[in-house]
Amino acid sequence: MTAVNSVAELTREGDIAVLTIYSPPVNALSANVRQGIRDGVKQAEADPAVKAIVLICGGRTFIAGADISEFGKPFSGVSLPEAQDAIENCSKPVVAAIHGTALGGGFEVALVCHYRVAVPSAKLGLPEIKLGLIPGAGGTQRLPRLIGPQAAAEAILSGAPFAAAQAKTWGVVDEIVAEGHLREGALAFAQRVIDEKLPLVKLRDRDDKVAPFRGKPEIFEAIRKANARKFRGFEAWTKAIDAVRDAVELPFAEGAKRERAAFLELLGSMQSKAQRHVFFAERQVWKIADIADDTPTLPVKKVGVIGAGTMGGGISMNFLNAGIPVTIVETAQAALDRGLSVIRKNYENTAKKGRMTTADVETRMGLLSSALDLGALADCDLIIEAVFEDMAIKKDIFGKLDKIAKPGAILASNTSYLDVDAIAATTSRPGSVLGMHFFSPANVMRLLEVVRGEKTDKAVLATAMKTAKQIGKIGVVVGVCHGFVGNRMLAQRQREAQALILEGAMPWDVDRVLYDFGMPMGPFAMSDLAGLDIGWSKEKTSSSTIREILCEQDRRGQKTGAGFYDYDENRNAKPSALVEKIILDFAAAKGINRREISDQEILERCLYPMVNEGAKILEEGKAQRASDIDIVWINGYGWPVYTGGPMFWADGLGLDKVLAAMQRFEATMGAAFKPSALLEKLVAEGKGFKDL
């Protein structure tokens, strides 16, 4: 065995050299790995006894891509293209042996090898688009030459990994070898290459898969059209399509040069910095400052859900999808039946779309039992209350659960706002109580705010976070305060949105500005979708707000065909002259002199107070880190990932700009805009939230 460097070693099996890369956790293409590949291949090539080379990785996976943590830092050492050239121009065949996830630059290294073998469980892919990038080491030029431009564009735009079997079908992988026997399989394949004198295949020389599409720009127009909506606001995707087109229209060298230039431009872009920030932020959320990663957790084999409404049903589906049995409890049979039929219908709709089989539907429904009595939850490990947002009701339920639930059971409330400590105090086991705040629709939205009570045991919190991961959620630990993190910040935006339409804007102006910023929809369209009458009371209503007036006129949102907007039969929204009149009359009655309000003012008044509230949340310790707040907003409300989330976005703007605006607004509109002490401190120190 020869050590090539600290992460690469060469061993010999007969006349085959095995170059093993071992750089945990994922063999990312750090400077050492790039150098180890180049030098290892050159050393093996120079050895006359060597007839072929196998490139394999130790640990959990083949190379999983460029080392994202190196991005943005000064480049050093051997470049990736240099390492790739050593392989592609090697005078001896190089066989990539793939397990785990060959992603991004890792896949691009495999593509310059002359052959590729993989175990069945291996996955391959080009996820660069998720980092605001395009493949930057030949992926956009070699993959189309292997599988054609449409399949390659789909793989690059989706960023989704594909299985070894698909890779074999495409010819991306030449052979699937036995699971757990990758090394032997790769050596046997390499021996065959030697014995049968198979050629040194260079994908860059292939033309048969791209030639038929030359001179047909309409193909790329179609791909652009098909993806425009999904990628609204993003930058990298059109460059990815251009690069694939170049693979069809240009010689390899020219196409590769243009790909590299586009990649480097995106690497320096704000969008890519934002999405790389989110990549690491999504991995930070699981780390809890005072709880060790290996804290023992409690078993969650059986879950109880109280309430079969929209939330209770959606919450139940998460566990059923993960194969965990659920008992759902309601107070009345009709409500229970309705809840169960909604769950079944959701699954059947998914099956109709081909995303699951009818057998899956029955398997999931088979895990679901129901009852009208809380006693049915006595043997549950985790019980999630998802009833009406009323503290008295929740206290009553937790008081009863305390007597019913088995010792050690975790009692969670799905409350969106309320004081989890007060709920816990109604039990004799506050250590077992916390909040698990799902976001509607609960079976779709990834975010789960895990509300840590004053007395929540560490093992209970760790179990809730582990459960979040198990059901495919991204869990964020938040502290007890009104609205926790997401809704507490949302309240700031809602207040300003309502004020703005009295002062001079119209709902469609506010919605347009926030939609153009990148939100999935604006606050008024969102209210219409959710229903304006949530929490509205026919008996108590007194035309005291625009919303009350709309509800009084039966304009309760999309479900009544009218709310802030008028809706046609296809639920397409359009501004309403009637609502405009209601707003003008209401403002006049209040003596408000309306004025022209700029888009910039709308944006600043809706978003800066949210950032300021986020700063207060950090000051109060209700979130562990600013990037957790970014994760909450991206995954709970659709904040555009290409801005990195509210706190990263504010850092990018410059907190001094946010502070100055808040001070301006405070001077004219009062205390709601009072800057937080943390915001003032950071600006005074010339720092950002990232420096916390």
Min separation Cβ 622 and ligand T1G, Å: 23
Q: How far is the CB of 105 from ligand T1G (least distance, A)?
A: 3
201 scored as a contact of ligand T1G (CB under 6 A): no
| Residues 58-87 contacting ligand T1G, CB under 6 A | 64-69, 80
- By rule CB under 6 A, what string of x and - marks binding of each residue 411-440 to ligand T1G? ------------------------------
**Catalytic-residue membership of 619:** no
Select the span of 6-14, 103-111, 238-246, 425-433 touching ligand T1G (CB under 6 A).
103-111
Hey, what are 677's tokens? Answer: 């002490």
DSSP 29: B
Q: Report the candidate in 649, 608, 594, 579 with the shortest Cα–Cα distance to residue 496.
A: 608
128 catalytic per annotation: yes
Q: By C-alpha distance, which of 113, 162, 155 is closest to 135?
A: 155
Least separation, in Å, of the C-beta of 668 and ligand T1G? 45
Please report whether residue 160 would count as binding ligand T1G according to CB under 6 A: no
Q: Residues binding ligand T1G: what is the number (CB under 6 A)?
A: 24
Query: Interaction with ligand T1G in 233-262: which residues (CB under 6 A)?
Result: none
With contacts defined by CB under 6 A, name the span among 125-133, 187-195, 251-259, 378-386 that binds ligand T1G: 125-133
Name which position in 36, 93, 132, 139 contacts ligand T1G (CB under 6 A): 139
Q: Are strands 433-438 and 447-452 parallel, antiparallel or unpaired?
A: antiparallel
Other CB atoms closer than 10 Å to residue 495's CB: what's the count?
14
- With contacts defined by CB under 6 A, name the span among 21-29, 495-503, 506-514, 579-587 that binds ligand T1G: 21-29
| Residue among 9, 88, 128, 604 flagged as catalytic | 128
Q: Which of 9, 108, 259, 449 is catalytic?
A: 108
Give min distance, CB of 280 to ligand T1G, in A: 6
Euclidean distance between CA atoms 682 and 692, whole angstroms: 9
3-state secondary structure of 154: helix
Closest approach of Cβ 321 to ligand T1G, in Å?
Answer: 19
> CB under 8 Å to 155, separation ≥6 — which residues?
125, 126, 143, 147, 162
Nearer residue to ligand T1G within complex by CB, 68 or 459: 68
Cα separation, 533 vs 550, in Å, equals 9
User: CA-CA distance, 582 to 142, in Å (whole number)?
Assistant: 60
Whether the CB-CB separation of 509 and 525 falls below 8 Å is answered with no
Contact (CB, 8 A) for 559 and 531: yes
Minimum separation from the CB atom of position 234 to ligand T1G (A): 16
Which of 1, 25, 292, 667 touches ligand T1G by CB under 6 A? 25
Q: Does 101 bind ligand T1G (CB under 6 A)?
A: yes
Consecutive H or E run containing 192: helix 182-195
Please, what is the minimum distance in Å from the beta carbon of residue 396 to ligand T1G? Answer: 41
CA-closest candidate to residue 442, choices 386, 401, 506, 524:
386
Cα–Cα distance, 217 to 250 (Å, whole number): 13
Residues in 266-295 that interact with ligand T1G by CB under 6 A: 283
Residue 137 binds to ligand T1G (criterion: CB under 6 A): yes
Provide the 10 A C-beta neighbour count for residue 404. Answer: 16
Give the C-alpha separation, 516 to 365, whole Å. Answer: 41
Single residue of 105, 132, 144, 640 touching ligand T1G by CB under 6 A = 105
Residue 399 tokens, joined: 């008081």
C-beta closer to ligand T1G: residue 25 or 354: 25
Distances (CA, A) of 642 to 13, 65, 400: 48, 20, 46
Does 469 sit near ligand T1G (CB under 6 A)? no
* Spatial distance between the Cα atoms of 329 and 376, rounded to a whole number of angstroms: 8
| Binding positions for ligand T1G, rule: CB under 6 A | 25-26, 28, 64-69, 80, 101, 103-105, 108, 127-128, 131, 133, 135-137, 139, 283
Catalytic positions, written as ranges: 108, 128
